[in-house]
């Protein structure tokens, strides 16, 4: 292997997990670069060796980050570095030199890193503009744990074209080894080298110091060295009121809490400091229940970082956003605003339909549950030592004001209307974020594992009941694996696949069998629909997808006697054809009686292009033909725009006519998670349009006045003439808390309340399937689960039942 200290590309050539293993073998060689012979003892050598390995693993996180950001750059997420007239070929972005051959990341990792990278960019440039607007003569940016971050070189290019009266100092800080690697690369790349300031005061192998840019190799745990290094770079703590901006992008999380606290306290000593902290949190943490209340996403994340020997040490002391807010306040910061990434991205990174549309065109994306979980478990904190920290008048830059966020965060109605609570936003104002009133609940009977020994490790499947049997088809997950004792089964993404198997569940004795695979049966698929006919004799299945762009529009009929029979398998050749719907997935389908005819009504969903479907189709069971239902009022179609990942149930309307109730989902135009409830009435008449649909929004609130939480990926089941149970799902910008997982809606009163199940286990009811087993007065649910980046997946494999 090439020398770790002299190769400008060796880090980029290895995946960081392999790198950690390979370099650990060379640990003795590596420790010689930090070993001081003057203190030679056997114990000291062991400590240095341990320290060296820890640094190696932390360097690996930089490699992973840069590789992910390079993937963004190649796909077009970063919009040519936000420098007018600069192409990727001419770009000063360092990413292409670190990862000359880009590795393709999964769409959800690309989306998450785009939100993270763009958030930091907006905050940095907003802070600089705020300094300029305040007439500041000189300011400084300090990047902690910079790695191969290219921000300085991008800003240097940008400021060449934009005249500014505010002088900017930029300081990059990281481990000495990584700074050596960074400077080696810069000095060997002409485009980067030309952007270095001339006549530096210090130009060494592992250090570069000048009046406008400095690159310092400092362990952040050595605060005396940090103080001297910043002083050499011209960033003084005493005798200067120069505004400084400190950037820590997932850096301090790897230090012990007291070590990271010391760094934050150190910078609180600067009179005009702004600190931007981006790292992980645990929004669902309950101090009374500890590990019992950890979301499987959190458990998977912890498991990954422990496995790669980069544990998130700070999280042991600071769990949720309130903990971090109190932390900054206790360490000397006079103001602090903390937002989770869902909220920051919605308001700043992707604030309008145009940006959502642009990003959706870059690559297929469907991991909305995962991106919302990521956005809930990562946050951005913006703290300041400005007003209130000194008796001396200040001109403290308020970056949130500059980017247009401050006025929104100070508007109580804005926070209320967007259902922003303390799990997604906090600040130091004790009045601004009052606790919402407690929503009443009702106890229900919960039973685990109605199918003992089952391993239904799949999501996006269907569950349909015929008599005393329930049938599970398709989905995405694991097929035919051995029984696992732990029902949250963690598996890598590569072991998952789209499934084409059919399972029969015996509702009397709980046994499960896999039916023989029919070679002429339906193709493997996920996010399809399957419904039992009104007479309970057959199951009709429609749609779903098998692959990112392979979407089905076939209809299949299943009976226990004959198995799967293709009813309608035509393909739509013309986009404008009204003979049948295009292929759809993440839609809903319900059996309804319309004008005396039994129909399967399909609403919403996503097209092969990724766009949301705004049409409503019905499949006539007797004629085996499709019909398109037209909106009676054009404005209703505009209001009820394309949605997906919603739920729908059939309820009775005027004259006992079947109506369709639509709950939640994601709006396709701006990917917003909805809390709306719609009632749809469909009819057939002699006038145009012959097949028509009307819709009106239904106002549903708790008796306390609290609105419904937005959610998608849930299920809904009618349990009585006036009651609907809504089960699971994902919410944004905040996660669903455990007590919010299940609710009951009462249509006659327009109210909802929480369902409090007995002996409730922390299932993640997402991607599951549920159905009413009316003969036994219960709802049964099977499957569901999720993924955490590429770290692993978990499954709710045993099933559950709720008595009603």
For residue 244, what is the domain's CATH number?
Answer: 3.40.50.150
Residue after which a domain boundary falls, among 401, 427, 453: 427
Q: Is residue 798 part of a domain?
A: yes
Q: Across the strands, what pairs with 778?
A: 773, 803
- CA triple 85-87-88, angle to 5 deg: 155
Residue identified by tokens 């009104």 is 534
Quote the CA–CA distance of 610 and 294 in Å, as a whole number. 33
Q: Which residue has the tokens 């020997």?
A: 309
Contact status, residue 169 vs residue 138, Cβ threshold 8 Å: yes
Residue-level pLDDT at 42:
39
Among candidate residues 267, 201, 204, 279, the one with its CA nearest the CA of residue 237: 267
- Nearest of 189, 139, 144 to residue 169 by alpha carbon: 139
d(CA 11, CA 63): 6
Map residue 778 onto helix, strand or coil: strand
Between CA 679 and CA 471 the distance in angstroms is 29
67, 68, 553, 751 from 364: Cα distances, Å? 20, 17, 19, 38
What does the pLDDT read at residue 597? 93
Query: Does one domain contain both 205 and 348?
Result: yes
pLDDT 10s digits, 521-551: 999 999 999 999 999 999 999 999 998 778 9
- The CA distance from 583 to 592, in Å, is 21
391, 496: one domain: no
Q: Is residue 42 in some structural domain?
A: no
* pLDDT for position 762: 58
Burial of 146 (0-12, 13-18, 19+ CB in 10 A): buried
Residues 527 and 458: their CA atoms lie apart, in Å, by 11
- Whether the CB-CB separation of 646 and 331 falls below 8 Å is answered with no
Q: Verify that 308 and 226 share a domain, yes or no.
A: yes
Q: Tell me the CA distances in angstroms from 422 to 425, 685, 739, one per residue in order.
A: 5, 51, 16
Chain centroid, CA 553 distance in Å:
29
The count of structural domains within the chain is 2
Task: Write down the pTM of the prediction.
Answer: 0.88
Residues 361 and 388 in one domain: yes
Residue 383: C-alpha distances to residues 213, 224, 253, 259 (Å): 24, 23, 17, 18
| Ordered alpha helix ranges (H), 5-93 | 16-25, 27-31, 42-75
Q: Is 510 exposed, middle or buried (0-12, 13-18, 19+ CB in 10 A)?
A: middle
Q: Of 427, 459, 485, which residue constitutes the final position of a domain? A: 427
Report the 10 Å Cβ neighbour count for 172: 27
Q: Are residues 508 and 364 in the same domain?
A: no
Q: Strand, coil or helix: what is 75?
A: helix
Q: Which CATH number fits the domain that encloses residue 485?
A: 2.120.10.80
Sheet holding 563-568, edge to edge: 529-532, 539-542, 555-559, 563-568
- Cα separation of 344 and 352, whole Å? 13
Based on the domain organization, do 733 and 638 belong to the same domain? yes
As given in the structure block, the two tokens for residue 399 are 């970056």
Residue 88, domain member (yes or no):
no
At a CB cut-off of 8 Å and minimum separation 6, what does 275 contact?
A: 246, 248, 264, 267, 268, 328, 333, 381, 382, 383, 384
Domain closes at, from 400, 427, 454: 427
With residues binned 3-state (H G I as helix, E B as strand, rest as coil), the percentages for the chain, rounded to 5, are 30, 30, 45
Q: Which residue stretches of the chain have pLDDT < 50?
A: 1-53, 56-57, 287-288, 388-393, 481-493, 571-576
| H or E segment and range at residue 191 | helix 190-193
Q: Which of 117, 130, 81, 124 is nearest to 345 (CA)?
A: 117
Statement to judge: residues 410 and 488 lie in one domain:
no
Separation in Å, CA 327 to CA 252, 260, 324, 604, 634: 13, 11, 5, 45, 53
Residue 29 lies in a domain: no
Contact 426, 322 (CB under 8 A): yes
Q: Domain check: are 379 and 528 in the same one? A: no
At residue 688, the pLDDT reads 65
| The two three-digit tokens of residue 317, written as one number | 């002391």
Maximum alpha-carbon separation in the chain: 98
Query: What are φ and ψ of residue 431, in 5° steps?
Result: -90, -30
Instruction: Return the residue matching tokens 């393709």.
Output: 104
Same domain assignment for residues 719 and 782 = yes
Cα–Cα distance for residue pair 225/800, rounded to 1 Å = 58
Asked, for residue 94, whether it belongs to a domain, the answer is: no
pLDDT digits (tens, 9 = 90+) for 463-518: 999 999 999 999 998 765 443 434 344 444 456 789 999 999 999 999 999 999 88
Calpha distance 702→218 (Å, rounded): 54
Rounded distance between C-alpha atoms, residue 256 and residue 252, angstroms: 8
* Distance between CA atoms of residues 746 and 536, nearest Å: 27
Question: Rg of the chain over CA atoms, in angstroms?
Answer: 29
Which residue bears the tokens 């060449």?
160
CA distance 720 to 124: 55
CB environment 733-766: b (16+ within 10 A), e (fewer): bbbbbbebbbbbbebeeebbbbbebeebebbbbb
Interior/surface letters 616-632, b for 16+ CB within 10 angstroms, e for the rest: bbbbebeeeebbbbebb
The reply to whether 53 falls in a domain is: no
**200 and 157, same structural domain?**
yes
Could you tell me if 420 and 560 lie in one domain? no
| Residue in 380, 396, 392, 281 with CA at minimum distance from that of residue 336 | 380
What are the residue ranges of helices labelled H in 134-164? Answer: 151-161
Whether residue 451 contacts residue 799, with contact meaning beta carbons closer than 8 Å, is answered with yes
Phi, psi of 225 (to 5 degrees): -70, -35
Give the pLDDT confidence score for residue 572 in this predicted structure.
38
Asked if the structure places residue 387 within a domain, the reply is: yes
Q: Do 421 and 460 reside in the same domain of the chain?
A: no
Report how far residue 690's alpha carbon sits from residue 794's, in angstroms, rounded to the nearest whole number: 48
- ∠ at Cα 449 (445, 451), nearest 5°? 125
Q: Which structural domain range is residue 168 located in?
A: 105-427
Q: What's the full length of the chain, in residues?
A: 804
Residue 754 lies in a domain: yes
What six digits make up the tokens of 803?
């008595």
């Amino acid at each position: 292997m090439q020398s770790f200290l002299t190769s400008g590309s060796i880090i980029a050539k290895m995946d960081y997990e392999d790198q950690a293993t390979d370099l650990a073998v060379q640990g003795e060689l590596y420790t010689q670069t930090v070993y001081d012979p003057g203190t030679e003892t056997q114990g000291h050598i062991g400590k240095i060796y341990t320290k060296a390995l820890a640094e190696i693993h932390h360097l690996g996180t930089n490699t992973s980050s840069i590789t992910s950001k390079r993937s963004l750059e190649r796909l077009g997420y970063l919009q040519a570095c936000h420098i007018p007239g600069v192409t990727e070929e001419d770009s000063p972005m360092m990413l292409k030199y670190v990862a000359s051959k880009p590795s393709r990341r999964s769409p959800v990792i690309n989306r998450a890193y785009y939100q993270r990278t763009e958030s930091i960019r907006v905050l940095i440039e907003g802070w600089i503009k705020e300094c300029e607007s305040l007439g500041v003569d000189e300011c400084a940016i300090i990047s902690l744990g910079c790695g191969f971050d290219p921000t300085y070189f991008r800003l240097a290019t940008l400021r060449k074209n934009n005249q500014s009266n505010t002088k900017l100092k930029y300081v990059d800080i990281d481990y000495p080894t990584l700074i050596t690697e960074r400077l080696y690369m810069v000095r060997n790349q002409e485009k980067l080298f030309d952007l270095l300031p001339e006549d530096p005061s210090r130009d060494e192998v592992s250090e570069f110091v000048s009046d406008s840019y400095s690159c310092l190799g400092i362990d952040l745990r050595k605060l005396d060295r940090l103080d001297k290094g910043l002083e050499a770079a011209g960033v003084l703590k005493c005798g200067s009121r120069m505004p400084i901006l400190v950037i820590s992008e997932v850096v301090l999380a790897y230090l012990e809490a007291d070590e990271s606290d010391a760094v934050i306290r150190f910078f609180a000593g600067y009179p005009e400091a702004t600190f931007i902290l981006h790292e992980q949190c645990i929004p669902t943490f309950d101090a009374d229940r500890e590990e019992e209340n950890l979301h499987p996403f959190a458990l998977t994340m912890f498991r990954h970082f422990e496995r790669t020997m980069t544990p998130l040490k700070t999280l042991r002391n600071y769990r949720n956003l309130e903990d971090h807010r109190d932390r900054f306040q206790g360490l000397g910061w006079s103001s602090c605003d903390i937002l989770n990434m869902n909220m920051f991205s919605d308001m700043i990174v992707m604030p309008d339909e145009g940006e959502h549309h642009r990003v959706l065109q870059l690559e297929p994306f469907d991991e909305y549950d995962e991106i919302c979980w990521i956005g809930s478990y990562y946050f951005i904190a913006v703290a300041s030592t400005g007003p209130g920290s000194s008796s001396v008048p200040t001109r403290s830059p308020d970056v949130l004001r500059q980017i247009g966020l401050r006025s929104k965060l100070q508007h109580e109605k804005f926070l209320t209307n967007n259902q922003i609570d303390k799990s997604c936003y906090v600040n130091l104002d004790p009045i601004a974020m009052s606790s919402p009133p407690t929503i009443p609940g009702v106890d229900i009977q919960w039973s685990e594992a109605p199918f003992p020994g089952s391993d239904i490790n799949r999501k996006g499947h269907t569950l349909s009941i015929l008599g005393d049997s329930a049938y599970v088809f398709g989905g995405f997950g694991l097929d035919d694996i051995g029984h696992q004792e732990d029902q949250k089964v963690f598996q890598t993404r590569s072991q998952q696949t789209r499934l084409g198997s059919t399972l029969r569940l015996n509702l009397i004795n709980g046994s499960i069998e896999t039916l023989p695979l029919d070679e002429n049966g339906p193709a493997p698929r996920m996010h399809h629909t399957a419904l039992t006919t009104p007479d309970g004799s057959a199951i009709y299945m429609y749609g779903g997808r098998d692959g990112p762009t392979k979407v089905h529009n076939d209809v299949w009929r299943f009976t226990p006697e004959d198995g799967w029979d293709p009813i309608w398998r035509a393909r739509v050749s013309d986009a404008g054809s009204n003979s049948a719907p295009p292929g759809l997935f993440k839609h809903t389908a319900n059996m309804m009686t319309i004008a005396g005819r039994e129909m399967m009504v399909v609403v919403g969903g996503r097209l092969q292009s990724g766009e949301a479907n705004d049409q409503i189709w019905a499949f006539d069971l007797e004629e085996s033909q499709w019909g398109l239902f037209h909106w009676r009022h054009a404005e209703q179609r505009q209001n009820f725009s394309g949605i997906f990942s919603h739920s729908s149930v059939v309820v009775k309307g005027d004259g006992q006519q079947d109506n369709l109730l639509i709950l939640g989902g994601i709006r396709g135009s701006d990917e917003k998670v909805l809390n709306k409830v719609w009632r749809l009435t469909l009819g057939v008449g002699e006038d145009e349009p012959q097949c028509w649909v009307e819709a009106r929004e239904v106002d549903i609130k708790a008796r306390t006045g609290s609105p419904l939480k937005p959610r998608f990926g849930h299920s809904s089941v009618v349990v009585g003439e006036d009651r609907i149970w809504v089960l699971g799902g994902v919410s944004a910008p905040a996660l669903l808390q455990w007590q919010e997982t299940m609710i009951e809606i009462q249509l006659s009163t327009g109210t909802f309340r929480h369902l409090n199940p007995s002996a409730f286990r922390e299932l993640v009811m997402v991607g599951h399937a549920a159905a009413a087993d009316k003969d036994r007065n219960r709802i049964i649910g099977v499957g569901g689960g999720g993924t955490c980046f590429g770290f692993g997946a978990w499954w709710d494999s045993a099933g559950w039942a709720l008595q009603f």
